[in-house]
Amino acid sequence: MGVKTNRTAWRSLMAILKSAVVLLYLRLTGGPRMMTDNIFKKIIDRQIPAKIIHEDDQCLAFHDIHPQAPTHVLIIPKKVIRTHADIAAEDQMLLGHLHLVAQTLAMQLGLTAGYRLVLNCQEQAGQTVPHLHLHLLGGRPMGWPPG
Ligand code: 5GP
């Protein structure tokens, strides 16, 4: 066996070990997997349909496909920001805008008794779509702590 063959075998072994570590990590952390595909960007670009209830130059809001409450709307920036951990100082106005839109929609949707805003950041917190989004939930009593 030459040096080249040894190096190839070593690289393969390292790749297998790396995959095993990643799989073990995912198994131990348990949470849902984050999609590799940004499905929300496709909704922004109208490549896939959604029940859109608000659009302006900065954001889009639409009904969640698997609602967790009688009202479950997602508010997303048009700018692609992968997670909350990626926001920067330049996003301050945008984030405030998302909250004002959430408040307006909550009133328009009749959530006068209250509503909950949820933002899952990264896999362990339950984020599955790699595009920052606010969940606007309402229409039923909600427990605490959240799951
Ligand atoms: P996350 O788990 O990332 O905080 O929230 C992602 C949300 O997007 C989930 O509540 C899920 O039901 C919703 N969702 C995933 N794919 C689609 C889709 O194609 N259309 C719509 N309207 N909602 C989606």
Residue with tokens 């805008």: 97
pLDDT over 90 at 28, yes or no: no
Q: What is the pTM of this model?
A: 0.82
pLDDT in tens, 45-93: 999 999 999 999 999 999 999 999 999 999 999 999 999 999 999 999 9
Q: Which of 66, 36, 38, 35 is nearest to 51 (CA)?
A: 66
The answer to whether 135 and 98 are in contact (CB under 8 A) is: no
Ligand 1 pocket, residue 85 CB under 6 Å? no
**Whole-angstrom Cα distance, residue 18 to residue 116?**
40
Atom of ligand 1 nearest to the CA of 127: 3
Q: What is the mean pLDDT of the chain?
A: 91
Q: Quick check: helix, strand or coil at residue 114? A: coil
Ligand 1 pocket, residue 26 CB under 6 Å? no
Tokens of 42: 């496709």
Q: Whose CA is nearest to atom 1 of ligand 1?
A: 127
Instruction: For the chain, give every domain's residue range.
Output: 1-31, 35-138
Return the bridge partners of 137, or none: 72, 116
Pick the CATH number of 35-138 from 3.30.365.10, 1.10.8.60, 3.30.428.10, 3.40.50.720: 3.30.428.10
